[in-house]
Structure 1
Amino acid sequence: MDEAQETRKTLVESLVELGNTALGPDTAKRNGAQEQLSYLLQRTQPMALLPALNVAIQPGRVPETVRVEFVSQLAMLPSRDDGVRDTLEFIFSVHPSSHQNDAAAAGWPISPQKQGAQITLEALKMATRLLASPPARTTAKDWFRGIAPQLLALLDGRDGLELAKVAAYVIGFGILGRKSYGAPGAPGWISFAEPMLRSIDPTLSQSASHDDSTIDLRKNATAVLVPENKIIEGLRRLQTLILSHPNPGLTRRLLHPIILPLWALSSWTNASKSCEENYSLPARNLLKVYLKISSSPDKAMPIVRNLLFNGSRDSGKQPQWQFQAADDKQGSIYIVSAPGVFHHAGDILQTRFNDIGPKSETLVDLLAEVLTDDDDISSVFLDLFNRWLSAKKPKRKTAKEIVIPKQEVDNEQISEYGSDALDDILEGIILQKLMEKFPEKLAGRPDHILELVGGLFSQLDETPLAEDETAPVLLSLLNLVITSPGFQRAKADGATLQLIEEGLARIGTASGTEMAEESAKTAKNLLLFLKFRDEIEGPMSTQSNITASSQQQIEDRKTYALAIAYITQAGSPPPVRSEGLNLCQGLILSNSSVLDIPALLIMMSSMLNENEDYINLRVIKIFTLLANKHPKSTTKELLDHYIDSSETKRVDTRLRFGEALLQVVQRLGAIFAGETAQQVGQALLETASRRGFRPKSEAKQAREQRMRDLKAKRKQLGADDNDEAEEQHIDIEDALLTDEERKRNEILNTIVQGWGSKQGSEDVRIRASALSIMATCIEVNIAGLGANLASGAVDLSLHILTMEPELEKGILRRAAIVLILSFVRALYEAREAGRRLGFGLTSQSQEDILRILQYVAGADEDGLVKQHALDVIESLDNWQLASLFPPASESTGMLPAALGGLPSLAGLSLNPARVGTAVTGPTPLASQEIPATTRPRIEEVE
């Protein structure tokens, strides 16, 4: 035992000794021991205390009172300095899933961290439950306040991307994902969400904080509220948290309050390369995610209405804070307190007029990227257009006409008039940009575009339309509508058409400039075509009428295309992919006819191939929904990936497809029969048998064995520095284990190593999985499988029990016994339900099964296998007894034994029909006279 092991052992002995004394019956020694114990706990690092306390709390080592104290101390360790990381790495190092040869089979990418820890999904879930559960000794507020700085520091990624993902998982799922801790104003939200949000908008706070760091935003003097490094840190943390898990609800809760600040940063004018990388790009990524997962396109309207947003205002429209660029060459941005002086529209236009063009272009490009559906773009355009027309003023002023004297107009008048004038200008510019960039998309719905053109003609009646710069765009849009095959004048709104015809007539009379003459010529042609549209097409145009069903198909196609884009788009973050799965699920539930089932199955399979386990649950759910209408195609797709005849998939990937197949079979239920059941059953039996041969796996095993032999030879000749470092590395708990525990761990390691396929045979875990799925198939619908597959499954299980007694095959034998139990249970349930299967267990078969199970129960080295065997033996005994009595469906005329009846035996009827018979028993019934024609008769039978 080296020095490190001796130190760890001494620490455990000291803790046990001091704990027994500090909480023992000797009061004279208690106070001194308590001080020593407290000092020992405080000066020892969490990484050393974690394994020591875990050993000390094992049953039988210390009295219960001491054990309770040690458990409390252990629970509080994460709140100490570096306690969160030490706790995470300790759990990753001792969790059983971290010691598998194929650790990635758990579905989480492994990565060696400090102390050689490996990150698996099972260990991560355990660590999340521990860190997200406040101990009994503290409140949730104090607990999260203590661990939040450590988790947020891990979220920064300086300790590695793997630990950053771990921190995102703990924060997103364990804390902010729970309503009791993650709702706005809850302890978890205050400790984790608010620090990130306040770094982008300092007015966002649900907590009543009055510490020294609080800054009064009402100061007239400009003061730095958030330095540039804090803004960068907040953006980076939000991006890591949101892009690391697919929780659309949490994403909306986090980003909704800071949409405008994110827009200001993402559209920063004249941003340098450093500014673009540190501020604009992260803010733009977050903004895209929010707009994509938003359920309504009007989520973008606040940005449109606040195009020049650069800071927050209070309810009285007084500035509170604003972004400001630093004078350095790095393009830094920080937040300062804005003096309480209102800036009217004229000042804003004078100081930031040059920003309108670039920001409007950036906004239109952003909408083009996130609003892939034509209807969404049309909705944003019409919403903005209706808002622009809603201001009922005698005359709408242009940018050149806005003149607000500073001395003659008070703040209230400026607020009332100037802000509306600025909104008119910004909205008009965005409208023009949208019309120039998306003319075809805006014309997707004729009624919308006609309303748009008619409204513009009525609003601009005092302007020479032919000379207006928007006239060519309006005429182009109108041309797209009235020349489309589906347009019919008779179905258009009469008042709207009248406005359009009047506007076209006025444009047609214009002259003078070249632009006016060109617009006048186009307007005359459109007016003529519009008047005689129906006559030109004739009565055949009525065939273009769109029915309600075809309109629904159009909507479904758009939804399906949007879902596919969300799922398959390169670099699509998890929240967006999750939203795409939601859209697909909705179409499946509505039985939409636009679904391409083969393509959808292939896409779901590609997603199930990935290591995003939280996405996999959603994918498996979609497989089960598809199986309702397409059982054959769905099961075939899952079987192809589960069997993996090309030997390209890892064990964990195949197990995920096995889990999906299992849930599909359970979902099918009684309709799991015919060709589908035969195909599934045959494939499962072949996979579970010992005959499977995988030559590529055998070649890979040979290469790995050669590498191990080469490494062992190098160690014999002399290790290099790296090998010496590996040899010096010792598991943190190994020195604290007893000889019995160390021996047990060696056995477990041998078992895990034996799970991998040997000499090209099928992996034991896959074989056990196939048997488990087959057992479910038998229970779900044994009649659908048929006699051959059911008997073949039982025979295979019996051969496994007798011919594969190796220690590492324990999980396989357990699955085999469970399959036999499922077979017996299925026979019993079919008998009770009165269903005739056409096959069953003969006396000889029952004796053979019992004999093998009795041998296994007495000779197997696996405790669970023994217990399973005893349970099945008991079930078979009960089955033999139950076979002596008729099934419940055939004994409905019998009286229950509790009411004086007896079950019938072969050859003797003890309880003939007793209509009107007086019955006596524990609960006597009302006596009635027995008619002579129904008196019982006793017959002697040889």
Structure 2
Amino acid sequence: MSLADHLQTASLLAGSLRPGSGITGSDPSEIIKKRLEQAGFHEADLASEGCDLKSRYALSCLTCLTRLHGVLRDASSSPSNNLGSLDLKTIDTLLQIVISLGIYPSLEPRWIHSPRSSTMSKDVLSHSAEMLESVFTSADSHHSLEALLMLIRSRPPPWLKTQCTQYLSQILLRANGVQTIFECLLPPNSALGTLDTAQLQHVAQIIGSVPKQSISVEEYFENICPQLLRLMKTSPRASMLFRASIHVIGHVINRRPGIGKKHLMNKLMFPLLQFYETIAPIPTDRPTQLDLNGNRILVDERTLSEAIDNLRHLLVGNDSSPALIDALASVVPPLYYIQDFATQTASSIKQPALDILLVFFRIAQSADAGTALWRTILELPLQETAILARGPEGGVLLTEGHGKRLDVDLDRFIDFLDAIKNDDLVGSFFLRLLEHHGKDHHEGADEAVEKLRTIQLILSIMGRYGERILKKPAQIVTFSKSMLLSEDEEAVSLGMALLTAILSNDETVIETEINTTLEDILIILQALSAHEKDEISSLARELRVLIVTRNSSLEADDDSENQAKRTSLETLQEAMKELADDLLPVRAHGMHLLRHLVLAKDPVLKERIYETNAIFLDQIKDDDSFIYLNAIKGLASLTDVYPGATLTSIVERYAQDAFDLDYRLRIGEALLQTIQRCGDVFAKYDVPELRSSALSLLACVAETAPLSLLPFIHQLMDYVRNLLLLANTNPEPRRAAAVLLLSLVRALRSGPLFAAIDRTVVRDIATRLDILKDTDTDELTRIHARTALADLNDIVAEHLGM
């Protein structure tokens, strides 16, 4: 039968009958029988024994559709076989009859193969399913997609919509499934840039959604991604297929970064990633390619150019999502050196490569962009890479490196930084260079080259950018920190001056994120407060107060909802500002406010015990008694209220010989006040270093002003005697006792003291020393004792004429 005969049969079966319309004035059963008879379908022909009339009618329509499909498939290329609008309408009617009268009444809502009634036999259902599967398998993908979409748009029951969706997924997984989706859902003749973004997004969501019946997400995208890449690489740049493919690729990368990088970006970037290779694999299926110098080619110029062009279009055709930018980080170094080489050779590949780099450095996170710059200009030149060479057509290709390394032109790199137009990035990169330059490096050829390049970069950036290098307060603070760590006193002074200037300006906004840097600076300033130069030590102490003041200001803004805490923060801030004042009464009042917060056990100040302790220790150094006496009171208050958190650090400062005697005695006065108030309870907070440092101080007094100890000589000897007997585990107190005895012995050389001291004390000292030099377990203690005993024998012999 010809196509016309099959269409005539279809028209006889369809007639004017429409599902759900009903037939008025006539018996529907008689009409169905008449149409079956006119179309030539008899019960025996259909092997439908046991079926009711409606089922036979639906099966007849399905058989007619199958025959039509077979004729259309066998002669699809003939122009005479094109269907008209009336023919398509007839076929649509038959489809609806099959579904409405044949399939739907026989099914449960969620089970396609479960008969709900006995109106259709299992044989008929099986036969129908086989016919449907055969039609779907052999039908053209475009026709199947259009039919399924037509069914979905007709608002079918849920079970039918589910089945249609499953068949749609099968079409998508075919060899050209993605292309079929594009051609059916997007305008076929749309030029580049004329496609509606909503249409593209709709298609991207369809393709990017993994069907429920898929084996796994990984396998689904293993099938889809190669199709997308093939369409992107082979379609004309102005075509709808190219635009749609890059949009869907961007969608997949954005929604599924891991899969997108593995199956899409790594494939697109593969030619560029060969930049990190040094030896080309020997091909087995084609002749070895050599460049003009006889080196084996890793990537030819056409492949390299297409890879860069594809990446550029991918960026242009999509919103630059973080996932897409992150995926590009690995090819930033190759792209930089390719565009740098193209600058020298006037290759057309320069601009696409430069466009990608500029987008990356303007959109990437500051840390990621800085890392990419660092790797490009400092790390990669120390490694072996492929070599860039000029291609026969004027492009750029990659060849084997043979151990060669990259040449870095710093002038062109600075020009590239200018092109980025991101001063914040340049400032961060400059600070990282300074920090790297200040670190200790292993000695070696590579390290020497890296150090030299670092210095050259620092000088080049300073020469090109000048004061534009550092604009953000965070960058200035970081730069000042590196200056404070310098061994050059002028650099240290400059760093503190910068910090003072920026922190003293109330209009300067200090981000909370740099608090960690300021805390590090506080520790550095703690060491600088003991600097031998008064200018540096004084400025360090003032700067510590200023930093604590700004930190308290920042937290006052953050915790404004808590009124009590806000009040405490404001009081603390006021105290810090007064401590930085030049007028002595104002500074004293600031210490009074601070001491009041300590005694009140304010929770805000409790969080700043370390800073408060350091401030009082710094203020004790002041020459004015009005200031240091208030500082002693404040320090004593701290040890009273927070002994566990402050005593150890105070005693460590008290025990350091680097500080002058007067300063240590002032600290000792504060400790004495605490000891007197604690009484016997102080033993709970006893610190071994306290006894050692106290004895060391007494030894200093014995050497400088021995007569001042004369009224307390018996108490001192009694304490030393008991200490030597009881301090068996810790050698530090015994060493200090030996040093005190040695100082007392040397002080006896003074005639007045030897004449004034009781002879029983001299004998007691000799006895203690004689025991120590032979029996003490600590070698250093025994040495001190032997030295003191020898000096004592000489002094006694000298004064008594023995």
Which TM-score bucket, shorter chain as reference?
Answer: 0.3 to 0.5
Bigger radius of gyration among the two: 2
The structure with the largest helix share of the pair is: 2
TM-score calculated relative to the size of structure 1:
0.36
Higher relative contact order (CA 8 A, sep 6+): 1
